[in-house]
Amino acid sequence: MKKLLMPAIIAAALISPIAPAAAGSTDNVVITLTSAEQQTRGMAMVLANAMQAKGAHVSVLLCDSAGDMALKEHQSTPLKPKNVTPEQLLQKLMSGGARVDVCALYLPNKGVGMEALKEGVGSAKPATMAEALMAEGTRVFNF
């Protein structure tokens, strides 16, 4: 009985829909960040960098006061234990190929234009963002 049971369990695990993704597969990740809390912003960027390091294609949408992270003139206090700011972590993410946009409402309501944003940061188009959020195989994380 044991000789038959073990191969059946292994076979079931291999074809199970909850089995881990195949080696070499890549996830698309969209992170929406709206929090004004410094530690939440920092942790969102830490996790985004960790997902990118594992092969995920990461996009970040910064809305409300989190959009301030994308401003050239904005710099927050470093967070322990690594003494880095969320903005530095965001820059690292971008240097790894992540797409970063502020939400479509951010710039007009902040009273600034595209020139106020750090190099490489865009302004999200609602239709494009909706497609990215709904794309098959995309994981969405909100902070």
Nearest CA to 73 out of 44, 46, 112, 99 is that of 112
Q: Beta strands of 34-110 (E only): which ranges?
A: 57-62, 99-102
Is residue 80 in a domain? yes
Is residue 10 in a domain? no
Is residue 14 in a domain? no
Is residue 92 in a domain? yes
Task: Give the C-alpha separation, 135 to 137, whole Å.
Answer: 6
For residue 134, give both structure tokens: 């709904």
Is residue 69 in a domain? yes
Instruction: Output the domain CATH number for residue 38.
Output: 3.40.1260.10
Is residue 18 in a domain? no
Domains contained in the chain, number: 1
pLDDT (0 to 100) of residue 15:
36
pLDDT (0 to 100) of residue 3:
52
Q: What is the mean pLDDT of each run of 10 residues along the chain (143 residues)?
A: 44 37 68 98 98 98 98 96 97 98 98 97 97 96 98
Task: Give the C-alpha separation, 113 to 116, whole Å.
Answer: 6
Is residue 17 in a domain? no
Is residue 2 in a domain? no
